[in-house]
Amino acid sequence: MHALGASLDLLLHADDIHASYDQRRILKGVGLSLHRGEILGLIGTNGAGKTTLMGVLAGSVKHDHGRITLAGEKYVPDSIAEAQACGVGLIPQNFHIDPELTITEAIFRGTFQSGRSHAELRDQAGKLIRDIGITMDPDAKVGTLIRAEQALVEVLRMVAEEAQLVIMDEVAASLPDHDVAVLHQVLRMLTRQGRAIIYITHRLDEVRSIAHRIAVMRDGKVHKIVEASKTDVDDLAFLLLQHELERISRPSGPAAGGEALRVSNFSVEEKVRDVGFSVAKGEIFGLVGTHRSGVYQLISALAGIRPCTSGKIYVNGTHVHIRGPQDAQRLRIGYSPDAADTLEPGTSIAEGLQQGAGAGAESLRDEITHLRGVAEVVHRMRINTTNIQGALSTLSGGDRQKVELARWISTDCDVLILSHPSRGIDIGAKEIVYKMLTQLSQTGVAIILLSSDLSEMVNWCHRIGVMRDGELVTIEANANTNEDVLVHHMLGVKFESGSSEARRVKV
């Protein structure tokens, strides 16, 4: 590792940074430094202030107090554009690229060359792509790319912007291990060019494998900075949560209940072909597959979002037709989609946690009972707020995800389909989500779970089905499987995750 102590290498220094949002003090005296060629991991529970701090560095949030220097000069960016001009770029968690842009146009958008045509920039884009060692067609449309490839386009945009400091906020949150491994290779290449990276993630194994040092944020301050090579997941979890994680025992046998849902010879256009499986009452049934495997089309057809082309669905043994979301709801099938920020921006936290649709026009007693229930969920899921009547928009992204999850978990479903429920939430909340799902399954609800976090799947699910190229290639009983077996089936090739340097947190 480079001599990080050498002051020549110092790129960024922040001292006693304070910042507020919506009259609430978020940052309470943050201090950190970053050297050229370094990857600094940044971890913290939801609401600890990570995204606000990144906003201050990237020019979107003004700080109230404190001093920042960049390459030895005072740094007080007035806007994102000014931060960009100073060489600081941010890739946010929910970045969006216009699907109609070509990869070339997407790489150079927002840079000083953005006015030039695709034809003029194409060769330059091709060179950038080759330089970071990936295969991508500069003429292809962004809309044809999977999320992991779009993340690499965003990294290339940072290179085209000539960013010296690249901030990545939960960019790998729903990427599977093999895609994270490619992203890590590219980031290491950027540091060899002398760039510095701040890498925010909730995956503790991942941050250990990519970062040189790891800063732990707690309640608006950097609580501690540790050397990545001298710590482990349990130490990091303790620094974050101030208590040890409970050990989860994997489900060892099949779920005991009768059949809740069965599909046979199920096809969705050309994306899903002749799939058949059943889920028992009280079972947590996992589904995994790459973005192009058909797994998303399968679950959206079960939820009535897209039509199935052929095949049969049985709910509690009865043959049913699902022609739209209303049919699925009537059959008591709930669906929380990927990145489910489905609530209106002005919604209050209490309204966001309303149990299902039937929670209007209540008596005062009912309302008080409901608000007590909301307060209990807020406390239990550690949602960082002082006011349950406050707007959802005042919460951190991870805390909004917790509200969405709690709302679905409390609805009255027989079958609940959850896509990436732990995406963007901290490990303490993940532990609570697991307990809530387990309690829900114990009441006889069948849960279908999609996640790219394979160790989470192995820890939580009774059985795991693997989709590849539109087909269900295997259903693995928990006792017989591990992450490497699942990736082998997903890719159709052997993949040793031990060498990927992108292992997941074992919670």
Predicted local confidence at residue 146, as pLDDT: 85
User: What is the per-residue pLDDT across 20-29, written as a single tens digit (0 to 9) for each?
Assistant: 987 788 999 9
* Domains, the chain, with CATH or none: 7-241 (3.40.50.300), 259-499 (3.40.50.300)
pLDDT of residue 362: 58
* pLDDT of amino acid 178: 78
In sequence order, what DSSP letters do the residues of 379-419 get, joined into one string? HHTT---S-TTSBGGGS-HHHHHHHHHHHHHTS--SEEEEE
pLDDT in tens, 100-152: 999 999 999 988 888 888 899 999 999 999 988 888 999 999 999 988 899 99
Interval 376-413: pLDDT, tens: 777 777 777 777 777 777 777 777 777 777 777 777 78
With a cut of 50, list the residues of the chain below it in pLDDT.
Answer: 1-7, 340, 355-359, 361, 495-507
Strand ranges inside 143-289, DSSP E? 165-169, 196-200, 213-218, 221-227, 259-268, 272-280, 284-288
pLDDT of residue 339: 52
What distance lies between CA 36 and its chain's CA centroid? 27
Tokens found for residue 418: 């959850």
Predicted structure pTM score: 0.79
Handedness of CA 324, 330, 334, 336 (dihedral sign): positive
Q: Please tell me the distance from the alpha carbon of residue 403 to that of residue 400, in angstroms, as a whole number.
A: 5
N residues, the chain: 507
**Token pair of 50 as six digits:** 């990570």
